[in-house]
Amino acid sequence: MAALTETTSNVTEFAGKYKVVVVEVDGATSTEATVSIDEFSAVVGAWGQLKQAQTADCASVVVSTTATTSTILSVIWYEDDGTTACTQNALDAYILAIGY
């Protein structure tokens, strides 16, 4: 998987163990790719949200960790049927990750 182009990234640190990062990614750079969260030692949860209104070609984005203690996130866009991976016209997305 190729690495996605990050448009913006903002890390917020809280008292205690966890940090939160919000990353805006450019969907046009790949429709199945990875994002590396270099500011973390481990990601414990991650979610994705489309930045624009969904289309038939691109209706959702799914974000998951690639391993239990990984800081690399797998990002896949899906068409409106929810099962077919988007191969064209991917939209920009926001990724929210929690880790330490």
Sign of CA dihedral 35, 60, 77, 68: positive
**Total domains, the chain:** 1
Angle (CA) 92 9 97, round 5° = 85
Q: The domain containing residue 9 runs over which residues?
A: 2-94
Confirm whether 20 is domain-assigned. Answer: yes
**Better pLDDT: 3 or 39:** 39
User: Can you give the pTM of this predicted structure?
Assistant: 0.81
Q: For the sheet with 60-65, list strands across it.
A: 2-3, 32-36, 72-78, 60-65
**What pLDDT, on the 0 to 100 scale, is given for residue 8?**
66
* Mean of pLDDT values over 20-47: 85
Write out the two tokens for 6.
Answer: 């990050």
Per the domain annotation, does 99 fall within a domain? Answer: no
With a pLDDT cut of 70, the percent of the chain lying above it is 86
Mean pLDDT of 46-74: 89
| Residue in the structure block whose two tokens are 């805006």 | 24
**Is residue 78's pLDDT more than 90?**
yes
Asked if residues 77 and 61 have their Cβ atoms less than 8 Å apart, the reply is yes
Q: Is the pLDDT of residue 68 over 80?
A: no
Mean pLDDT for the chain overall: 85
**Tokens describing residue 27:** 């969907």
